[in-house]
């Protein structure tokens, strides 16, 4: 089946991306260690915050650590399988999509798997550490963390594709896209219970942090099949919209006649 071929190829790409980073071993290890410590810094703020205030809108320090576990895992999965997302807008602006158009496989898939940050392992380590420290660690919750992490990663990557694809229609908007992606990330790192009122509409549409972080935390705290179904349907919707917008935009793409070598 076609899907299995793509899965095989994706695994092969991930292996090669890792092998590529391993060529610069010291730098690779430094990136991983630094990423883990960096993320730890953000978690440290919350440790200080909750040591002062204990509970904020029913959220405790355990909940915020769980949130950071999910954030680490979804970001890591997204960056491993679809790290090329952050480069889409830049490639469109520079006319570098040409290279992918000549290849036999799906263009969007190819751009997504073509890049992986070396620091991604640090995200996994951080996510796992936070999960253990959160007190929610169990076999069932681990399975939930992985499955919701995959769905959240798909929504996150899809949102990124949508924002980056604006470059097809409006020219150089990749910096705006990056800012929107950072904003989504920002929303996913704060206690989800603090967001009340109209802002919640934003969190389930333009900045889907509610799907990416809010629902996964709720599912691990108290499993609800309906919420899992909502998350699954939302993932399909975001993926479909992202694909439609990207391919609509691709029709407008104009080659830069750029000759480059993809290593």
Binding site for other proteins (CB under 8 A): 27, 30-31, 34, 37-38, 40-42, 44-45, 48-49, 51-53, 55-57, 175-176, 179-180, 182-183, 186-187, 190-191, 193-196, 199
What is the closest distance, in whole angstroms, from the C-beta atom of residue 77 to other proteins in the complex? Answer: 22
Q: Report the residue number, 24 or 223, with the smaller CB distance to other proteins.
A: 24
CB of 147 to other proteins, least distance (A): 27
Q: How far is the CB of 1 from other proteins (least distance, A)?
A: 42
Residue 143 in tokens: 């399975």
Residue placing its CB nearer to other proteins in the complex, 18 or 195? 195
What dihedral angle (degrees, nearest 10) is formed by the CA atoms of 241, 244, 246, 252?
-140
- Indicate the residue among 32 and 108 with the shorter CB distance to other proteins: 32
Residue 222 structure tokens: 């108290």
- For the CB of residue 49, give the shortest distance to other proteins in the complex, in Å: 5
Closer residue to other proteins (CB): 111 or 213: 213
- DSSP string covering 12-67, please? HHHHHHHHHHHTTHHHHHHHHHHHHHHHHHHHHHHHHHHHHHS-BTTB-HHHHHHH
- In the block, tokens 């439609």 appear at 244
CA distance 93 to 219: 40
Torsion angles phi and psi, residue 59, rounded to 5? -95, 135
Element (H, E) at 166: helix 139-170
Residue 101, exposed/middle/buried by CB under 10 A (0-12, 13-18, 19+)?
exposed
Residue 237 CB, nearest distance to other proteins (Å)? 23
Identify which of residues 9 and 33 has a Cβ nearer to other proteins in the complex: 33
Please report how close the Cβ of residue 223 comes to other proteins at its closest, in angstroms: 25
Cβ proximity to other proteins, 182 vs 223, nearer residue: 182
- Residue closer to other proteins by CB (options 185, 230) is 185
Q: How far is the CB of 150 from other proteins (least distance, A)?
A: 26
Which residue pairs from 16-25 have beta carbons closer than 8 angstroms and sit at least 24 positions apart in sequence? 17/83, 17/115, 17/116, 18/116, 21/116, 21/118, 24/118
């Amino acid at each position: 089946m076609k899907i299995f071929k793509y899965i095989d190829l994706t695994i092969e790409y991930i292996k090669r991306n890792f092998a590529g980073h391993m060529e610069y071993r010291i730098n690779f290890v430094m990136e991983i260690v630094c990423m883990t410590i960096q993320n730890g810094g953000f978690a440290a703020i919350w440790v200080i915050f909750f040591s002062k205030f204990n509970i904020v809108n029913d959220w405790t320090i355990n909940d915020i650590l769980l949130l950071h576990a999910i954030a680490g895992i979804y970001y890591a999965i997204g960056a491993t399988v679809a790290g090329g997302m952050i480069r889409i807008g830049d490639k469109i602006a520079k006319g570098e999509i040409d290279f992918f158009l000549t290849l036999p496989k799906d263009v969007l898939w190819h751009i997504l798997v073509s890049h992986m940050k070396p620091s991604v392992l640090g995200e996994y380590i951080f996510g796992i550490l936070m999960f253990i420290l959160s007190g929610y660690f169990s076999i069932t919750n681990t399975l939930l963390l992985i499955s919701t992490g995959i769905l959240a990663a798909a929504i996150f990557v899809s949102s990124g594709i949508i924002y980056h694809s604006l470059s097809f229609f409006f020219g150089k908007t990749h910096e705006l896209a990056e800012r929107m992606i950072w904003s989504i990330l920002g929303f996913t790192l704060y206690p989800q219970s603090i967001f009340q009122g109209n802002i919640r509409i934003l969190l389930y549409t333009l900045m889907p942090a509610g799907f990416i972080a809010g629902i996964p935390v709720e599912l691990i705290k108290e499993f609800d099949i309906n919420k899992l179904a909502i998350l699954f349907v939302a993932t399909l919707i975001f993926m479909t919209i992202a694909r439609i917008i990207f391919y609509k935009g691709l029709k407008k793409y104009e080659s830069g006649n750029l000759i480059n070598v993809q290593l």
